[in-house]
Amino acid sequence: MFMTTGDLQRSHMIKTVVSATEHSMFQSEKIDQFEDFDGLIEKVKADLMQKAADNDGDGLIYVTFNTQVVRMSVAPRFLVVTGYGTVVKLAE
Give me the CATH topology for the region 2-90: Translation Initiation Factor IF3 (3.30.110)
Q: Is 41 exposed, middle or buried (0-12, 13-18, 19+ CB in 10 A)?
A: middle
Domain ranges of the chain: 2-90
> What was the pLDDT predicted at 69?
84
> How many CB atoms within 10 Å of residue 25?
13
> What was the pLDDT predicted at 26?
76
Average pLDDT by stretches of 10, the chain with 92 residues: 93 96 79 78 97 97 93 79 97 85
pTM for this one?
0.86
